[in-house]
Amino acid sequence: MYDSGKVIIGLVIFVAIATFPFWFGMGKAAPMPEPQLPKGKKECVESKEFMRSTHMQLLNEWRDQALRDGDRTYVNHEGKKIWISLQNTCMKCHDNKEVFCDKCHIYANVKPYCWDCHFIPKESKQWN
Ligand code: HEC
Ligand code: HEC
Ligand code: HEC
């Protein structure tokens, strides 16, 4: 028959490797990557905390407001008016998708399909 001891060792090694990403991070704070923020700009359209947790919903709201209601003015929590545009607002400041959006999305394993239609900004010089 077969050597059950070896099978068990093999299984233990397999399980250890398969679950490596889970236990490797244990004990440390989850190392969310640091996306590169635009230089020379201090503020986003909302606070950093809000953006970090809620940018997905905000973008949905923006799209609905712009397309359903034809209204492209967003009023933020400080009462400031902001032009609604993924390309001409968000990506004007965050003008390198790779060092910003993608950094987190690859880590979080999300692949927004937005770029099937919306332009990715050309690499700006600020990152060279
Ligand atoms: C005027 C320039 C500007 C615009 C426009 C802008 N951002 Fe930002 N964004 C920033 C800055 C600067 C920060 C960092 C803010 C801070 O450190 O308080 C930031 C932070 C963020 C963060 C959090 C990053 C982190 O490290 O947690 C996300 C997510 C984000 N922005 C997404 C967006 C999206 C989506 C849009 C469009 C809806 C947008 N930004 C529009 C300048 C901008
Ligand atoms: C600080 C990290 C971070 C940054 C920077 C960031 N995102 Fe995200 N984004 C996430 C996470 C995490 C999710 C998944 C959230 C969830 O599933 O609840 C997400 C989800 C999304 C979604 C929804 C996708 C889906 O399939 O549900 C969109 C759209 C999106 N991000 C757009 C952007 C854009 C555009 C930028 C760059 C301007 C950006 N994000 C920058 C962390 C980030
Ligand atoms: C099938 C193509 C397509 C996809 C995919 C798509 N969009 Fe759009 N989006 C459009 C078109 C077309 C408009 C209208 C542009 C206009 O009227 O100027 C638009 C408008 C918008 C607007 C408002 C106005 C503007 O100029 O930005 C936002 C915000 C937006 N989309 C966000 C998103 C986000 C976030 C995603 C990914 C989760 C996404 N879109 C995916 C085609 C698409």
- Integer Cα distance of 2 and 50 in angstroms: 58
**Rama region for 79: left / alpha / beta (φ>0; ψ in -120 to 50; rest):** left
- Integer Cα distance of 34 and 100 in angstroms: 8
Most confident of 8-22, 26-40, 90-104: 90-104
Mean pLDDT score, 120-124: 74
C-alpha 67 – ligand 1 centre gap (Å): 23
Ligand 3 pocket check for 66: Cβ under 6 Å = yes
CB contact at 8 A, 91 and 123: no
Nearest CA to ligand 3 atom 41: 114
Ligand 1 pocket check for 48: Cβ under 6 Å = yes
Q: Which of 93, 86, 92 is nearest to 117 (CA)?
A: 86
pLDDT at 97 over 70: yes
CB contact at 8 A, 53 and 47: no
Residues 79, 80, 84: CA angle, nearest 5 degrees: 120
C-alpha 28 – ligand 2 centre gap (Å): 23
- Pair of tokens at residue 78: 């400080």
Most informative mutation of 118, 119, 120 for ligand 3 (most atoms within 8 A of CB)? 118
pLDDT at 12 over 90: no
Question: Which ligand lies nearest the alpha carbon of 60?
Answer: 3
pLDDT at 127: 53
C-alpha 63 – ligand 3 centre gap (Å): 6
